[in-house]
Chain A
Amino acid sequence: MLSQLLRVLSLADYNTRVVMFGTMTLGIAGGVVGVFLLLRRRALLADAVSHAALPGVAGAFLLAVALGGSGRSLPLLMLGALTAGLLGMACVMIISRFTRLSQDAALGIVLSVFFGFGAALLGIIQKMRGAQAAGLDSFIYGKTASMIRSDALLIGIAALIVILVTLSLFKEFRLYTFDSDFAAGDGWPVQRLDLLLMTLVVAVTILGLQAVGIILIIAILIVPPASARFWTDSLRLMVLLSALIGALGGYLGTAISAIAPRLPAGAVIVTVLGAAFLLSMLFGPCRGVIHLALQSRALKRTTLRQNLLRALFECEEAGALHSEQQQLEYLSEIRGWSKRELRKAIRMLARSGLIYRVPGCPWQFSENGRTEAMRVTRNHRLWEVYLLEHADVATAHVDQGADFIEHVLGDAMVAELEASLPRFGRTLPQSIHGLTRFNGGSDG
């Protein structure tokens, strides 16, 4: 078993190498075309097209048998699938263009009706010629074990062409999938580009019929790019990663399917891709779940830290505190912090050396702490004025965490904001909230 596995994985025999070439190239093609399909938000159209291919496969088989052939010729079956797939796509477009049905309804209708019709034809075929037709099932779930060398070669070369076409139109596809109105206004034939992309999608679908099967082919178009998106914000890298993931799916899927011929290859490939997706979703540095969780935790800490600095500073401004006990009570009253939260925040500040305490007395700012507290307080107050006076525009600018408000709003705007605040001392604008409750004390 193990030696067999190694034999397959290391591509020891020629036949495996050829099949591997076919499925891996197919995986890459799916990954590359899929990026644009995903960004164009047409994933379900591809699903409908692949399902619509089934009656084409069965029809081509019946036709070949009726003409006296064997019916098991892959190119012929693919041709049938291509015809039916394109017919399905045309039906979707006609239904959504000439009726008031939405596109998702059109997709659902075409997908189910075509597939149902195909399944009926398949039933007829199986009744009439048991042995010869048995292989047709492999088009539903995929079977690489039954792939012959010339088929694999055909798939591989065709997939290579798909990859080359897509990459040479990288710029055009990027333009039209991002902003088709601008592209059309700029003079690009957007409808033809759309048609070309869909043709490439149909091509991948048809090429994947035998290796992956009709039901699951959509996965090699969608899962690799969706996984890649978690790792990068660059379209180039996304295409590269998506291609790699697709190739990995093809490689492992074929290998496992070769060792265990009863396992449908499509299912294995999709499982491999699913694992890649899960890993990406969890660990992706761009928008992975863990990354987002860490980010939100960091944000919470920053907020807590800044709010405490500001609150301590404002207590000091009010100047009414004499003991640590009194200070803590005031702080939890101002911000509604629980005792536990407050202690945690104070420990955080103390650890970074921003505040210190002589036992029995209130917490004091260190030199650094005071500078930092003044910066934070000033930023917050200016942002508050900004929100009050410019609430009608672009709240998206507001970034309380920014080191200096000037970095976001520019010096002129900040000067204007500062001018609109009553000044406190020499360096800080007064809070517009006003700490009336604590305003009994001296002026700091």
Chain B
Amino acid sequence: MEGQTTSVNNRDLEPATPSAPPALHVRDLTVAYHRKPVLWDVDLDVPRSLVAGIVGPNGAGKSTLIKAVLDLVPHASGVVEIFGKPYRRQRRMVGYVPQRESVDWDYPITALELVAMGLYRKIGWCRPVSARHRRRALEGLEEVGMADLAQRQISRLSGGQQQRIFLARALVQDADIYFMDEPFAGVDASTEKAIIAILQRLREQGRTVFVVHHDLETVHEYFDYLIMLNMRVVAAGPVAEVFTPQNLKWTYGGRLTLLDRAVDAIGQGSR
């Protein structure tokens, strides 16, 4: 397709090891629910050590893309590789923050116990969570500024606090590549700032983070790399290259009010 920008221009982002395999490689990924395709022929090659936004209108398949990469929904076709190897062999390098609404917040556990779940694969089958692991989970809570609420029942946390402990659970997974499904949905301003600080720290540590995102106005500020999705990949690449009015139009179609605001955002970003 004309005007589509693929991520050939990765050298800016990864000058040190040009030959290293990309953090995420996706080829011909197609996902269908009940014979209706949700994602068509997705191709991606995303370099490592960056924060990548995934944007697109409702129903564009943003969450489905993450779930398909993580093998949570069956693929009709396609290949997914993490750091050059099939996903199934790289599971231990992957961390995941599901949508907050996807779980029952009335479940009888505390914030600390929830965060400790991120350590389960290190602990291994049938072994209990030890004091050492609880200390590590508490550190995770500290990183998101929630240490004082460690013993609180999860149902008694606010939306932003719930999102923070989800993030803390992913942090203690100690993964090299993270997939976060709408971590900013319904959070307060201070939580949003805290999450952004964590994303930047993860990138500085050389990790790669994928974030499903809704707010086009903050794209420039939050991300290095952008995947614009509308059932297929409209554009993927460094934000400065792909976040253009033309691509936005292809991604969002005729939703003009949104577009105008986004174009303003682009203007701000390039200033």
Contact = CB atoms under 8 A, between A and B. Distances in A.
Interface of A: 39, 100, 168-172, 174-175, 177-179, 181-182, 184-188, 229, 232-235, 238, 390, 393-394, 396-397, 410, 412-413
A193 to B, nearest CB: 11
B186 A181 contact: no
**Majority secondary structure, B binding face:** mixed
Nearest to A185: B96
Contacts of A238: 108
Name the residue among A186, A234, A238, A413 with the largest chain B CB count within 10 angstroms.
Answer: A186
Interface string B221-263: 0000000000000000000000000000000000000000000
Interface string B88-119: 00011011101000111001111001100110
Contacts of A184: 70-72
Nearest to A412: B190
Contact of B186 (A185, A393, A410, A413): A393
Interface stretch (B23-31, B38-46, B125-133): B125-133
**Majority secondary structure, A binding face:** helix
Contacts of B121: 186-188
Interface of B: 34, 67, 70-72, 91-92, 94-96, 98, 102-104, 107-110, 113-114, 117-118, 120-121, 123, 125-129, 153, 158-160, 169, 173, 179, 186-191
A31 to B, nearest CB: 15
A390 B188 contact: yes
List 3 tightest A-B contacts by C-beta distance, closest first.
A185-B96, A187-B91, A396-B158
18 contacts: A39-B107, A100-B34, A168-B126, A171-B126, A171-B127, A177-B107, A178-B107, A178-B114, A179-B103, A182-B169, A186-B117, A186-B121, A235-B108, A393-B186, A393-B188, A394-B158, A394-B186, A394-B187
Given A186-B121, A396-B160, 7 more contacts: A175-B117, A179-B117, A182-B169, A186-B118, A234-B108, A390-B188, A412-B190
Contacts of A182: 96, 98, 117, 169
A367 B138 CA distance: 43
A174 B114 CA distance: 10
Nearest to A228: B108
Name the residue among A39, A100, A233, A234 with the largest chain B CB count within 10 angstroms.
Answer: A233
Nearest to A386: B188
A178 B107 CA distance: 7
B71 A229 contact: no
Contacts of B120: 171-172, 175, 186, 188
Nearest to A41: B104
Contact of B123 (A168, A171, A235): A171
Contacts of A169: 126
Contacts of A412: 190
A172 B190 CA distance: 34
Nearest to B109: A235
Nearest to B99: A181
Contact of B187 (A171, A187, A393): A393
B109 A394 contact: no
A181 B72 contact: yes
A5 to B, nearest CB: 37
B151 to A, nearest CB: 10
Nearest to B96: A185
Given A179-B103, A186-B121, A187-B91, A233 B108 contact: yes
Contacts of B123: 171
Nearest to A172: B125
A178 B94 contact: no
A393 B189 contact: yes
B254 to A, nearest CB: 25
Name the residue among B104, B118, B127 with the largest chain A CB count within 10 angstroms.
Answer: B104
A39 B179 CA distance: 26
Contacts of A393: 160, 186-189
Contacts of B103: 178-179
A413 B190 CA distance: 9
A390 B126 contact: no
Contacts of A396: 158-160
Nearest to A184: B72
Name the residue among B108, B110, B118, B121 with the largest chain A CB count within 10 angstroms.
Answer: B108
Nearest to A177: B107
A179 B153 CA distance: 16
Contacts of A170: 128
A186 B98 contact: no
A151 B125 CA distance: 33
A187 B98 contact: no
Contact of A394 (B107, B129, B159): B159
A100 B120 CA distance: 36
B67 A181 contact: yes
Contacts of A188: 120-121
